[in-house]
Amino acid sequence: MKLLVLGGTMFLSQYVAQFASDAGHRVTCAARGESGVAPQGCEFIYWDRNEPAPVELTAEQFDSVIDVSRTPAHVRRATQELRADHWVFVSTISVYADLSHPGGTPADTKLFEPLESDGGQSTAESYGAMKIACEQLIGELHAPAAIIRPGLLVGPEDPTGRFSYWPEHAARSLADGLELLVPLAAEDPVQVLDARDLATWLIELAENKSTGTFDAVGPATSRREFIAQIFEALEVEPRVHWADAASLHEQGVVPWSGERSLPLWLPDPAVAGMLDRDHRPARQAGLRTRPLARTSLDTLQWLNGTDRARTGLSREEEVGVLENLAAAARGTSR
């Protein structure tokens, strides 16, 4: 298969290019190359997608194109100037305007209205709305296409730090002998997908010229089981301190991501279904997922010695919160 990856130099698209090349496909990566390099064995062609496609691309007929863009103008140019028998567009579950209901599917969840440009003022809503505009452009193609809407992607090379926080802090809790701070939402769902599993599936969709729209998500699990699997990777029993939301807020701890956050904690009912989409349609269409403990261990091994952006509480801040919570329980102040 002659596969064109629009990107191929960072995280998901880099895994796609690497795995496809390893499988014996002829892979071309087209990008500016500012976020990384194309994997060994792949042809790299420089393309700033604000400019017309280079002749090296327009002269080719590709079996499939895999595109991860968020910019409608870029997708429009690609669909007009490139020739391919099949397309795979990687969108996002952020296209959904209502993520309050667990177990949702593409068939029953309201979408944002499409947006051609956000004028450089990027927000979560504009991101999803622009992805919808990209999807619609793909839908106008004469060639068959698959639209894939991933949830939270994790694993080695993840630039967000939202998942990697947990194996890293679990390992540090073992090293310092103190507990791991976890929000007291033990039965709330947590849903992640290893980017390597998604990459493998995207290649299979391209190979088979598959069509349809799917949420790319793994099975949802409870937070209690999520934490248990993080510690399973370390081959020890969990040692955690479950803290209720009010106590965490008093300590200045915030949900989801950013400074002084506990990542993947979503106490807002308006997004109660964000980490609990129905994974069965994608599974039935061929998506296979590895155990969470395996992803956790691989992520921890990648983290060791890696210079990367972090999110969430530092371990020192986390220990300070634990000490304050213990003092409050004793009726004293730190």
Q: Out of 58-67, 125-134, 217-226, 323-332, which region has the weakest mean confidence (pLDDT)?
A: 323-332
Tell me: the pLDDT tens digits for 69-98? Answer: 999 999 999 999 999 999 999 999 999 999
- pLDDT at 332 (0 to 100): 57
Return the SS3 of 263: strand
Give the Cβ contact number of residue 59 at 10 Å: 9
**Which sign does the torsion angle of CA 290, 124, 182, 225 carry?**
negative
pLDDT exceeds cutoff 70 at 231: yes
Please tell me the distance from the alpha carbon of residue 95 to that of residue 74, in angstroms, as a whole number: 18
Please tell me the distance from the alpha carbon of residue 36 to that of residue 49, in angstroms, as a whole number: 16
Average pLDDT over residues 93-110: 97
- pLDDT at 111 (0 to 100): 97
The confidence band for 334, taking pLDDT boundaries of 50, 70 and 90, is: very low
Tokens linked to 232: 């399973």
User: Is the CB of residue 220 less than 8 Å from the CB of residue 34?
Assistant: no
User: Residue 220: CB partners within 8 Å, gap ≥ 6?
Assistant: 102, 189, 190, 191, 275, 276, 277, 279
CB half-sphere exposure, 332, CA atoms < 13 A: 5
User: Residue 41: CB partners within 8 Å, gap ≥ 6?
Assistant: 21, 22, 27
Alpha-helical segments (H) within 161-279: 165-176, 195-208, 223-232, 245-250
Task: Answer whether 0.85 is exceeded by the pTM.
Answer: yes
Q: How many helices (H) and strands (E) does the chain have?
A: 11, 17
Distance in angstroms between the alpha carbons of the first and the last residue of the chain: 64
Average pLDDT over residues 53-74: 97
Helix (H) or strand (E) holding 88: strand 87-90
Please identify which residue in the block is written with the tokens 């989409």.
277
Return the SS3 of 172: helix
Helix (H) or strand (E) holding 280: helix 280-284
Please tell me the distance from the alpha carbon of residue 69 to that of residue 79, in angstroms, as a whole number: 12
User: Is the CB of residue 264 less than 8 Å from the CB of residue 163?
Assistant: yes
Please identify which residue in the block is written with the tokens 């998506």.
287
pLDDT exceeds cutoff 90 at 242: yes
Domains belonging to the chain, first-starting first, are 2-150 (3.40.50.720), 165-192+220-272+290-330 (3.90.25)
DSSP-derived letter for residue 142 is S
Instruction: Report the chain's mean pLDDT, rounded to a whole number.
Output: 95
**Which sign does the torsion angle of CA 263, 168, 220, 8 carry?**
positive
Candidates 264, 154, 245, 256; CA nearest to 198 is 154
Which amino acid is residue 298, in one-letter code?
A: D
pLDDT exceeds cutoff 90 at 326: yes
Tell me: the pLDDT tens digits for 118-160? Answer: 887 778 899 999 999 999 999 999 899 999 999 999 999 999 9
Return the SS3 of 213: strand
Tokens linked to 199: 């990459």
Higher pLDDT: 304 or 323? It is 323
User: Is the CB of residue 287 less than 8 Å from the CB of residue 88?
Assistant: no
Tell me: the pLDDT tens digits for 155-202? Answer: 999 999 999 999 999 999 999 999 999 999 899 999 999 999 999 999
